[in-house]
Structure 1
Amino acid sequence: MNGTTVHRIARETALQFPAVTVDQPFGPDSDVFKVKGRMFMFLAELDGEPIVNLKAEPEDSGALRQAHPEITPGYHINKRHWITVTGGDTITGGLVEELVLDSYRLVVEKLPRHARPVDPETFGTTAPAR
């Protein structure tokens, strides 16, 4: 999957979530996605290539980097808690959607309970069969 498609899927996924806003505090060439004022995704270009920065659990980001050469420590951001995703052969639409959802939930989880637009434990999961 190419980087432009990664950007498109990440954007479309994030915009489906409750209480998401997008602004451009770093200029018109980058979009920052926030939930209740806290960043969970950053879309930009690095050397002409689209990149997506996402929040990730440190133990998960190590495994992701091992499995996907297109996932690296967060560019220009905390490398322990953020990853950067670029286009490439091992990146799928489903993976991008999952990483965006995980990033959103991680940020929502840190919000005060009264400010959370969703329950981070259950949001995005499929309801169990009855």
Structure 2
Amino acid sequence: MTEDQLGPVEPWIAALVSELPGAEVIAYPEWGSQTLQVAGKHFGRVGSDPQGQRILTLKGDPDDNAALVQEYEAVTPGYYANKRLWISVRIEDGSVPRELVEEALKSAYAIVRASLPKRVQAQLG
């Protein structure tokens, strides 16, 4: 799959990522997705699930992830990822409030950013 075939990340996701210091969207054609990264570390991925539905896969707290999976049918353990540490949200479904998805994305960024060396965190601002 070429970078052009991946298509753009949803504008609201791109806008949110652009607000996070050092965060960027990186095409990952070999996975058929766009990754969300900070300092080269993945905190999310936009792609498709095995049924072809558009999903946002995010790193998260295992307890929070389990609660979201239980509460929303459109949230599942992360596709192609550690099922405890990652969740996937069907973003075209609309049943999960956008604010909750945005909060989960910011949380994923914060988790990964906090794991970076202190000097790298300082460089991010």
Structures share fold, TM-score greater than 0.5: yes
- Residue 72 of structure 1 aligns to a residue whose secondary structure is strand
Distance 1:7 1:79, change over 3 A: farther
Match status 1:22 vs 2:25: yes
2:108 corresponds, among 98, 103, 109, to 103
C-alpha separation in 1, matches of 2:62 and 2:70:
13
- Residue 54 of structure 2 aligns to a residue whose secondary structure is strand
TM norm structure 2: 0.80
C-alpha separation in 2, matches of 1:35 and 1:89:
27
C-alpha separation in 2, matches of 1:75 and 1:28:
12
Answer with 103-112 or 7-16: which moved more.
7-16
C-alpha separation in 2, matches of 1:28 and 1:63:
27
Whose relative contact order is higher, 1 or 2, with alpha carbons under 8 Å and at least 6 apart? 1
The structural deviation recorded for 1:21 is 2.4
C-alpha separation in 1, matches of 2:66 and 2:31:
31
C-alpha separation in 1, matches of 2:106 and 2:48:
21
Pick the structure with more helix per residue. 2
User: Which residue matches 1:56?
Assistant: 60
Q: Please list the CA deviations of residues 48-99 of structure 1 after superposition, one character each: whole Å capped at 9, or x if unmatched.
A: 2100000010011111111111111000011110000003353122111101
RMSD: 2.0
2:77 corresponds, among 73, 76, 81, to 73
Q: Which structure 2 residues correspond to residues 87-102 of structure 1 after superposition, within 5 A?
A: 87-102=92-107
TM norm structure 1: 0.78
Residue-pair matches, total: 113
Q: Which amino acid aligns with 2:35?
A: V
The structural deviation recorded for 1:16 is 1.6
Distance 1:109 1:28, change over 3 A: closer
